[in-house]
Structure 1
Amino acid sequence: MKAAADIEVASTLSSTDLDAVERLLPLLSSTAGYDRNRMLAMLDHPGLNLFVARVGGEIVGMATLATFPLPTGWRGHVDDVVVDDTQRGKGIARSLLVAIIQLARERGLRTLDLTSRPSRASAIHLYESVGFERRDSVLMRFRPTEFNN
């Protein structure tokens, strides 16, 4: 059986790819600002991998893995997991997560974390189904500067 999408770590993004990412961002957050230069800078950042899911060559989903050293070990954080509405339910988000988990294992990361709003029950179920566990934790955020991006 053919996979629903081809998963890859993006090393370049064409103009068409960037347009696809721009269409995906509002599905993540109504307040997320899009910046092409920031997207391209992500590709060159040594601690960041942008995973993309392609169907017929077109990006229909994405997720990011941030990897960083801490005194307690190498850690990873998954962010911005999103799949186009027309492609949901086909296992694409699962494939993105499995690819991220595989890279985290290859890198010997001590932990791989992600956060999700409690209202996203289906996303939480997916995360748990690939091995993420709920933690008794409080997510806190500080905004050093107010900006649109």
Structure 2
Amino acid sequence: MPVTVAIADEVTDELVEAFVRLTPQLSSSSPPPNRDQLEEIVSSPATYLLIARGDDGSIAGSLTLVLFRIPTGLRAWIEDVVVDGDARGQGVGEALNRYAIDVAAEHGARSVDLTSRPSREAANRLYQRLGFEPRETNVYRYTGDA
């Protein structure tokens, strides 16, 4: 399946509907973003919402690339990668990640980070095939309930 990737520059009904369909495939605990939330993501100078389309032109997946400057340099972080179940195994995830890596490099990021649950075996194989390497680090999360 030929895949095209582009940065979303406007929020359309099609984009809102795509996230209604894709978000449950990414997270069972998070509701899909509404139009205002998508507008905030698309208009932010720190986030790039990448959209992949299959050969039929429909939205087959998305990825959010976050770029932010810290004292030690420009950081690039990939978040919320989701490929529609019907399009998995057809190069959508690879196309999204390669595009994100290129965008990060164009902006001067020296590396790109992401996390992936161990249970996402196909995704982890893809990331390693693309050159991502596991880091010796601990990931911590604060939820405010402590």
Q: TM-score, normalised by structure 2?
A: 0.92
Contact 2:50 2:64 in 1 (8 A): yes
Answer with 70-79 or 102-111: which moved more.
102-111
C-alpha distance in 2 between matches for 1:144 and 1:96: 33
State the AA in 2 paired with 1:11: D
Tell me the residue number matched to 1:21. 19
State the AA in 2 paired with 1:62: S
Q: Percent identity?
A: 36
Shift of 1:35: 2.8
State the AA in 1 paired with 2:83: V
Shift of 1:144: 4.5
**Residues 1-149 of structure 1: matches in 2 within 5 Å?**
4-36=2-34, 37-55=36-54, 56-144=56-144
State the AA in 1 paired with 2:108: G
Contact 2:62 2:83 in 1 (8 A): yes
Q: TM-score, normalised by structure 1?
A: 0.91
C-alpha distance in 2 between matches for 1:67 and 1:73: 10
Q: Deviations over 1:49-98 (max 9, x none)?
A: 00000122321100000000011100010001111011111101000000
Give structure 1 regions of 4+ aligned residues with deviation exceeding 3 angstroms: none
Contact 2:48 2:66 in 1 (8 A): yes
C-alpha distance in 2 between matches for 1:124 and 1:106: 25
Unaligned runs of 5+ in 1: none
Shift of 1:140: 0.7
Unaligned runs of 5+ in 2: none
* Secondary structure of 1:134's aligned partner: coil
Supply the RMSD in Å over aligned alpha carbons.
1.3
- Give the paired residue count: 143
C-alpha distance in 2 between matches for 1:35 and 1:21: 7
* Secondary structure of 1:34's aligned partner: coil
C-alpha distance in 2 between matches for 1:19 and 1:143: 29
C-alpha distance in 2 between matches for 1:144 and 1:51: 31
State the AA in 1 paired with 2:42: L
C-alpha distance in 2 between matches for 1:5 and 1:106: 21
